[in-house]
Amino acid sequence: MFKRDNTRKIFGDALTTYAAVNPKVVVLTADVASSVMAVAFAQKYPERFFNVGIAEAGMVDTAVGFALGGMIPFANTFAGLLIRATEQIRTCVAYANTNVKLVGSFAGLSNFKDGPTHHSIMDVAIMRAMPNMIVLVPSDSIEAKKMIPLMSEHEGPVYIRISRAEMPIIFDENHKIEIGKGQVVRDGKDVTLVANGHMLSRALEAADKLGTQGVKARVVNLSTVKPIDAELIVKCAEETRAMVTCEEHTVIAGLGSAVAEVLVKGCPVPVEMIGIADRFTETALDHDSLMDAYGMSVDEIVQAAQRVMLKQD
């Protein structure tokens, strides 16, 4: 079992720290400053903090204006509410290629208690379909923190998913990340488990279980969904001949689809996708049980690995 820490607080604090060295950073939020841990930033840099009220579409457009004015706006709200601004994001962020950083907090099922209106199961699919958009799904708090300077220094639109839950700690401060690059977190030759976000820790647990059965599973962290690390995916497919993708998201058009799109061209091998089936979720008492109930348990990853290995050539 992994120790856990408070990802959204670490992200919010890291943004405040980074703002000291990058005076172009401004933060916008839509009446969820305390929820997304933007309060520290607001207290330290009140002149660079803008609360627009419950107006997500307006927030995105205002962020666009900041970007046109040479600032680096981080627009924060719940991922499930940010999609209210999908047209703004399509037209004024992605198409106009403005330097806006979109932070979808409370992502996936991490706001388990508030139900499907507040679950975000299709944000990656929507953002990934937009030309010019970088899509980041950090797999722990260290990654979330380290992505702040990377996304700020990238000139153009970025979407980052931040969990409300305390995320398992996987990496340490020495962890090196780069936009567009995945990493082999654990080596193995029999099957590859590709994961990001909360599902990386579950993939590692599944690899442990598979290990007790004599199966050596490789685990790959793909915390950049777009641009996808096609080179690494093809290499792993060639070397292990089967793949399981694991995401806290609908299986339609998210990480699994992105991996499959690479494989059909680069190295067609059997794939199983772990994620939420094409349905809405429901309210729960905790995050982990909800993940388990909607198809993302460690055992389901193990079973998917077993199934996919039966189809290996």
Indicate which residues carry an active-site annotation.
56
CA distance 106 to 70: 28
Q: What is the DSSP string of 27-51?
A: EEESS-TTTTT-HHHHHH-GGGEEE
- The radius of gyration computed from the CA coordinates of the chain, to the nearest angstrom, equals 19
Q: Which of 22, 34, 87, 153 binds other proteins (CB under 8 A)?
A: 87
Coil/strand/helix, residue 133: coil
Which of these, 225, 248, 109, lies nearest to 158 by C-alpha position? 225
Question: Least CB distance from residue 55 to other proteins, whole Å?
Answer: 4
Where b means 16+ CB within 10 Å and e means fewer, 107-122 reads bbbbbbeeeeebbbbb
* Shorter beta-carbon distance to other proteins: residue 69 or 149: 69
- Selected binder of other proteins within 39, 40, 57, 260 (CB under 8 A): 57
Only segment of 57-65, 146-154, 222-230, 256-264 that touches other proteins (CB under 8 A)? 57-65
Handedness of CA 105, 107, 110, 115 (dihedral sign): positive
H or E stretch at 151: helix 141-153
Site string for other proteins, 16-35 (x = CB under 8 A): ----------x---------
Q: What is the rounded distance in angstroms from the CA atom of residue 66 to the CA atom of residue 46? A: 16
Give the single-character DSSP code of 121. Answer: S
Q: Mark the segment that binds other proteins (CB under 8 A) among 67-75, 142-150, 216-224, 242-250.
A: 67-75
DSSP string, 249-262: EESSSSHHHHHHHH
The residue (of 95 and 280) whose beta carbon lies closer to other proteins is 95
Site size toward other proteins (CB under 8 A) is: 28
Query: Does position 88 bind other proteins by CB under 8 A?
Result: yes
Of residues 61, 205, 247, 248, which one binds other proteins by CB under 8 A? 61
Q: If binding is defined by CB under 8 A, does position 234 make contact with other proteins?
A: no
Q: In this complex, which beta carbon is closest to other proteins, that of residue 61 or of residue 247?
A: 61
Degrees to nearest 5, angle at CA 260 with 259 and 261: 90
Q: Does 52 bind other proteins (CB under 8 A)?
A: yes
Binds other proteins (CB under 8 A): choice among 55, 83, 122, 267: 55
32-40, 61-69, 212-220, 245-253 -> range binding other proteins (CB under 8 A):
61-69
Distance, in Å, from the CA atom of 95 to the CA atom of 76, rounded to the nearest integer, reads: 20
Binding residues (CB under 8 A) for other proteins: these are 26, 47-48, 50, 52-53, 55, 57-58, 61-71, 73, 87-88, 91-92, 95-97
